[in-house]
């Protein structure tokens, strides 16, 4: 089966084309342009490079969050539009589960941290045996709380996610050798990670459940700033 994955949950636009779980090609762009400016041209370029036609796709997977509120909406809207036009199934996967593939095959637990702003991370912790297992999260957490929790565990942790660069110095200071910080190309969102997660989900779910699904709910974990301000304003009036 040929499929496309879309990840716009961070500042990085990450795409992939895959067939039966095998990565065919991926796109990675980390520039100042917005997702709305670069997403469709990147999909078109990736299809052309792979010599695939849009009509050959048999399903689409979109990363539905947590992450950037605007980025999530752009990715989901684009994926839903394509799936509806092509009349193919649409699958939603999470950014944390997707990035956990960075630690596939490693003996350490994988800690995924995404920049949630306001001095918080979107966080989840995983172990890999025969398959991925989430053992904590997903949730929003402060760097101090996360470091305190991990420092109590007698093991090392492999870190992935776009919050890693900003957290590196602090994590190494608090956790020492227990903090394993990989190279940038390993810890940032990648189309390949989404391709593997989507195929795993496809094979371990009832495939018919995706057949008529062109609606994906975003995963935000916490309210946006606009929603928070709205709730405060109306609670004060009530």
59 has pLDDT over 60:
yes
pLDDT at 230: 44
- Residues 137-165 have pLDDT tens digits of 999 999 999 999 999 999 999 999 999 99
Task: Compute the average pLDDT of residues 18-32.
Answer: 96
The better pLDDT of the pair 209, 197 is held by 197
Task: Compute the average pLDDT of residues 94-103.
Answer: 98
238 is a domain residue: no
The total number of structural domains that make up the chain: 2
With CA atoms as reference, report the closest residue to 16 among 74, 72, 79: 79
User: CA 25 to CA 119: how far, in whole Å?
Assistant: 35
| 142 and 203 fall within a common domain | no
| 100 and 175 fall within a common domain | yes
| 217 and 154 fall within a common domain | no
| 11 and 121 fall within a common domain | no
102 has pLDDT over 90:
yes
Q: What is the CATH number of the domain that holds 205?
A: 3.30.420.40
46 has pLDDT over 90:
yes
Residue 117 gets which letter from DSSP? S
């Amino acid at each position: 089966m040929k499929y496309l994955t879309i990840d716009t949950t961070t500042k990085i636009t990450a795409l992939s084309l895959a067939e039966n779980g095998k990565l065919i090609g991926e796109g990675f762009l980390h520039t100042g342009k917005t997702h709305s400016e670069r997403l469709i041209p990147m999909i078109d370029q990736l299809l052309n490079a792979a010599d695939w036609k849009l009509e050959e796709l048999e399903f689409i997977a979109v990363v539905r969050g947590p992450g950037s509120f605007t980025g999530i909406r752009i990715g989901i809207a684009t994926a839903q539009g394509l799936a509806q036009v092509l009349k193919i199934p649409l699958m939603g996967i999470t950014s944390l589960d997707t990035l956990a593939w960075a630690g596939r095959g490693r003996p350490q637990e994988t800690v995924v941290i995404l920049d949630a702003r306001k001095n918080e991370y979107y966080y989840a912790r995983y172990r890999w045996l025969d398959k991925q297992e989430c053992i904590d999260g997903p949730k929003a957490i402060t760097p101090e709380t996360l470091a305190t929790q991990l420092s109590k565990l007698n093991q090392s942790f492999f870190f992935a996610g776009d919050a890693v660069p900003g957290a590196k110095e602090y994590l190494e200071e608090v956790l020492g050798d227990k903090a394993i910080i990989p190279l940038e190309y390993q810890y940032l969102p990648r189309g390949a990670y989404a391709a593997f997660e989507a195929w795993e989900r496809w094979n371990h779910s009832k495939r018919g459940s995706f057949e008529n699904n062109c609606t994906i709910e975003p995963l935000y974990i916490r309210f946006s700033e606009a929603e928070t301000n709205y709730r405060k304003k109306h609670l004060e009036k009530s």
